[in-house]
Amino acid sequence: GFYTNQGIGVVAKVDVGGGFKQVLSGDFVTDVDLNNQITDALALTGAGDFNGEAPLNFLTIDKLFTEYVVAKGSAMTDSGIEAKTLHPAVGFNFQFKVDNGTDLVLYADNPTFLELAQDPGSGTTDPGVFQLAQYLDDVEAASTPDNPMARLINMLRFLPNEQELGAALTRLTPHYAVHTFDMINREADIMLETARECTGVPFYKNLDGRCIWATISPQAEYSRDAGAGTTSRDDVLKTMSLGG
């Protein structure tokens, strides 16, 4: 069967007079509101026994994930319930456990960002990316849920695979930002040079002295070595400009 507390998208605590049993084919949908650090929850007067799947529906992600009691009864059994997300989330490993014999607890046994970055699937061997990953791990480990970087951390953890996470961490690495700035400067220089060439040729000018141009530069290879402790960046440079 399919169960949800007061509908999907509404966090609610439901009191149940008696026990609750979820079979292997059942879905126990759980809304999660990280901003308020609450989830759907069942309060049972009898025993609980959970199997099957628990689809997680995240309403907000501006605080860090900790652990949450999603069901409490006179006794509790985890018969194999598995947490699921709508899409793959490479940085999260959601699990259930029973605490005190009475509480069904949702928690996360996550890989570290460094482990994910160093996975061959990330596509990066950049020491600078590994340093950034370690920094994110340190920030996450040293903080309460009220972390100003929580949204970024959660967004990275919700990426679908190591390759996309590796690409995102690379973009966030400081020496890559310098490379991006250099690329933008080169593109601006090309546009300005095109404008100067246009205004310098009388044939291109209108009668009122204005010059109108549209151009696409040939595709060019771009490479930059950012120095020791980093990796070289290889990109393709192509610019298009239109002006007058």
pLDDT attached to residue 231: 53
pLDDT digits (tens, 9 = 90+) for 34-91: 999 999 999 999 999 999 999 999 999 999 999 999 999 999 999 999 999 989 999 9
Please list, in sequence order, all residues whose beta carbon lies within 8 angstroms of the beta carbon of residue 104, skipping any fewer than 6 positions away: 48, 50, 69, 70, 71, 72, 76, 78, 81, 96, 97, 98
Q: Tell me, what amino acid is at 143?
A: S
**% of the chain surpassing 70 pLDDT:** 72
Q: Residues with Cβ < 8 Å from 119, sequence gap 6 or more?
A: 162, 166
pLDDT band at 244 (very low <50, low <70, confident <90, very high): low
In DSSP notation, 40-99 reads -EEEESSEEEE-SEEEEEEEE-SS----EEEEE-SEEEESS-EEEESS--TT--EEEEEE
Beta carbons of 130 and 117 less than 8 angstroms apart: yes
Judge whether 57 and 86 are in contact, CB under 8 Å: yes
Spatial separation of the C-alpha atoms in residues 91 and 155, rounded to whole Å: 9
Q: By the 8 A CB rule, do 28 and 53 touch?
A: yes
pTM for this predicted structure: 0.73
